[in-house]
A = this chain, B = another copy of it.
């Protein structure tokens, strides 16, 4: 294993690689007004580089293809996450005036969602460390992902969901046999409740914002995109933003590829939130986030207090990226457009990628550029 230590993204101090080293021992969880001390896995990149190249000829096509840049010593015997296709969408490219547009179809993961990449790491570490129970807070996808991987392994999944959780998502959780804890509040409250219960019971955490190893699984989406484009990185990579983990992880993945000499450039990261709940957009623009009562149909990014903001901010700055907000009406239009012109039906949250890029194209000339939309999930709720 080439992972060497953990480093706090807030205070810069180090911590040791323990399975349950969730937050900085110096900074802690933050208090809602300050950001939590998120830890980041460090690697010996000089050593990892050649192992990374060697691993490309193993024939594996799940996330463990990239074992040398993962915080585990061997592949987990878990549901195969990742290895999803990058699908050209020439009709949408024409509409946007782009040279090329690709959809990274994460709906083809085991439970239909990019979050399976993180779950694969969580379950691998939990198994190796002797845990039998895992927990997470989630509007649906992360919990379903954890429930599916736990079902495959015979582990117990404790899912903490907000008061307003979709019937479809609760159905998936039940089918997998998850223990469901319905909060009386929103996602942010469910998150707090999950952390309290997890600490009390000694369960393993699958909360991606706090458990530093999970982002490492998510970053493999960047490795795959780059490899599928023959290591020519696209100009733009677009993803929906809730806690900030997915796009932050994507940025880290592309940076690491450049560090080990596998690629030369970084793509500009474009993060998209729903207009109703856009704390990351506001903070990145130097404005104060609003605690709002407004709601969005895009449940997977309805996050009032983004816990991985420091990571995402660093990656946005490194890539000269930006953040955008779009109203639900544009999400719905983009969902329809993706379905009818790319053949891939995204969940509403993932349609934020196209909605954001359409918005960006009215502000900037994108002609001649290439872009990748990360279609993070494909589970359809009854109304969206």
Contact = CB atoms under 8 A, between A and B. Distances in A.
Interface of A: 61-62, 77, 79-80, 83, 85, 87-89, 91, 105, 108-111, 148-154, 171-172, 175-177, 336, 339-345, 380
A77 B340 CA distance: 17
B342 A152 contact: yes
A347 to B, nearest CB: 12
18 contacts: A79-B87, A80-B85, A83-B85, A105-B110, A108-B109, A108-B110, A110-B343, A148-B343, A148-B344, A151-B340, A151-B343, A152-B341, A152-B342, A152-B343, A154-B341, A175-B339, A176-B339, A177-B339
A340 to B, nearest CB: 4
A87 B110 CA distance: 10
B79 A343 contact: yes
The count of identical subunits is 2
Nearest to A86: B80
A339 B151 contact: yes
B152 A336 contact: no
B343 A171 contact: no
Given A61-B83, A151-B341, 19 more contacts: A79-B343, A83-B85, A89-B152, A108-B108, A108-B110, A111-B343, A148-B343, A148-B344, A148-B345, A151-B340, A151-B342, A151-B343, A152-B341, A152-B343, A154-B341, A175-B339, A176-B339, A176-B340, A176-B343
Contacts of A343: 79, 110-111, 148-153, 176
A110 B150 CA distance: 25
Q: Which of A87, A108, A148 has the most CB of B within 10 A?
A: A108
Nearest to A151: B343
7 closest Cβ pairs, A-B complex: A152-B343, A151-B343, A177-B340, A80-B85, A175-B339, A148-B343, A108-B108
Q: Which of A77, A89, A343, A344 has the most CB of B within 10 A?
A: A343
